[in-house]
Amino acid sequence: MAATRYRKFLQLIEQWPLDSSKKGRDLGMHIREMVAIGFKQGPATQINERKCDEMYEALQKMNTDYYRNKYPRLYQSSATGATLEECKIVTSKDSKEIKNLK
């Protein structure tokens, strides 16, 4: 059964986008690393099937924007009042490096 779960995780990480502007902080890269650690022996790895299934379902819902689609936003704003583009700029690696230079 671990082989089936391993293949499902591999398909999930193939679909998960990588954000080059967040090197060292990218969720997609972290998930890839955790899958490599969790399946050290590939499909032959002994795993906790229930925990593995729960983790897969949670990641799959994130990947498919399940909750974003289930609960659409009424307004295009945030608590800070910043736009999506402004938030992306502030959280980018380049912005962090500039703040560290000051």
pTM for the whole thing?
A: 0.68
Stretch 47-57: mean pLDDT, rounded? 92
Residue 6 to residue 14: CA distance in whole angstroms = 12
Compute the distance between CA of residue 22 and CA of residue 7 in angstroms, rounded to an integer.
27
Is the pLDDT at 2 greater than 60? The verdict is yes
Question: Which residue pairs, CB below 8 angstroms and at least 24 apart, start in 13-21?
Answer: 15/63, 16/59, 16/63, 21/88, 21/92, 21/93, 21/94
Tell me the C-alpha to C-alpha distance, in Å, between residue 86 and each of 31, 46, 81. 26, 44, 10
Q: What percent of the chain has pLDDT over 70?
A: 86
The reported pLDDT for the residue numbered 59 is 94
Q: What is the pLDDT of residues 59-98, one digit of tens each?
A: 999 999 999 899 887 766 667 778 878 887 877 777 655 5
